[in-house]
Amino acid sequence: MKTVYYTKYVPPDVLQVKEVEKPMIEDNQLLVRVHATTVSSGDSRMRRGNRKSLPLWPISKMAIGLRKPKNPVLGMDFAGEVVSKGKNVSRLRQGDHVYGFPGKGGSNAEYIKVSEESSVTVKPSNMTFEEAASVPFGAVSALFFLRKGKIKKGDDILIYGASGSVGTYAIQLAKYYGAKVTGVCSTENVEMVKSLGADDVVDYKRENYTNRKQTYDIIFDTVGKTTFSHCRKLLKPKGYYVLAVMNYREAFQILWTSLFGERKVISGIATGSIEDFNFLNNLIEEGKLKAVIDRSYHYNNIADAHRYVDKGHKKGNVVIKWI
């Protein structure tokens, strides 16, 4: 089978399509024929592997590999078909169309093995494989961080990076919870952000959102480009400044604000349970949550996909097609 390898850090050109043996599954595992994956901002950061790209350097660098990647296959999510299963697997069946997280291994391969206990479930019936592949990283992350901010009906929320993978799902989920949403994005994405349900949109090329008089219960930075010092005045008393990307400064602020002051800095590592996927499945099948696909690439052109994501201006998700 074919897989995409990277054996060193930094440029997209390090990505190579290689022929390897199809994985052998154990009794509690599934073998999935991958139809689609995505190139997320996380994939881009891991591939670059430098101080600028990785949060919590050098701890994160040690986790992924100091001199070269510990796991040479990228890919944080997938959608595909179960082609075989171990004898102890009972929740999913051969032929099921599934999506989720690949577990310890990367998903950029024609076939992957995943544990039945991992975050994998049947994909929504009204989504294509390409659309479903965008849900694990984007929607699960958005759900995780909105819950960290204790979102509730009537909240005012500002979402910075509203046009990205996490941001597009965060808008829709925030509206589901009954919040009033202000999105921050570039001029090119204003109409798209409005179409997803944002009540107000700030074009950061024309307006500095920090000069606004409005205050918010939650400020959610999906891309790691704001600071608590700049956003603090925009937070209501007992408001939450929620970060999808955290560095040491924010780690200190999380500790400090947990002990002192009403306004809290919140972050974490987004994880998704089967219950989370079932919750998202219901919203998707009810038409309350949809994927935004910017571009699709064949796996042979995955380096081009990474070059595009590296620019930092993608709308929603960039998909890699394996079939």
pLDDT digits 0-9 by tens, 17-50: 999 999 999 999 999 999 999 999 999 999 999 9
- Residue entry with tokens 């310890």: 104
Of residues 295 and 117, the one with the higher pLDDT is 295
What's the CATH code, domain 2-134+291-321?
A: 3.90.180.10
Could you give the angle at the alpha carbon of 310 between the alpha carbons of 183 and 12, nearest 5°? 160
Looking at residue 261, its pLDDT comes to 85
Looking at residue 21, its pLDDT comes to 95
Residues of the chain with CATH 3.90.180.10: 2-134+291-321
* 115 φ/ψ sector (left φ>0, alpha ψ -120 to 50, else beta): beta
Strand partners, 158: 182, 219
Examine the pLDDT at 195 and tell me if it is beyond 90: yes
Which of the four pLDDT bands, split at 50, 70 and 90, describes residue 52? Answer: confident
Examine the pLDDT at 196 and tell me if it is beyond 90: yes
Per DSSP, helices labelled H in the chain are 41-48, 59-64, 129-133, 140-148, 165-176, 190-195, 228-231, 248-259, 274-285, 302-310
Tens of pLDDT, residues 118-133:
899 999 999 999 999 9
What's the CATH code, domain 137-266?
A: 3.40.50.720
Examine the pLDDT at 244 and tell me if it is beyond 80: yes
Say if residues 113 and 147 touch (Cβ distance below 8 Å). no
Looking at residue 89, its pLDDT comes to 96
- Mean pLDDT score, 213-236: 96
Say if residues 40 and 100 touch (Cβ distance below 8 Å). no
Residues of the chain with CATH 3.40.50.720: 137-266
Which of the four pLDDT bands, split at 50, 70 and 90, describes residue 59? Answer: confident
**Mean model confidence pLDDT for the chain:** 95
Give me the amino acid identity at 188. Answer: E
Looking at residue 51, its pLDDT comes to 84
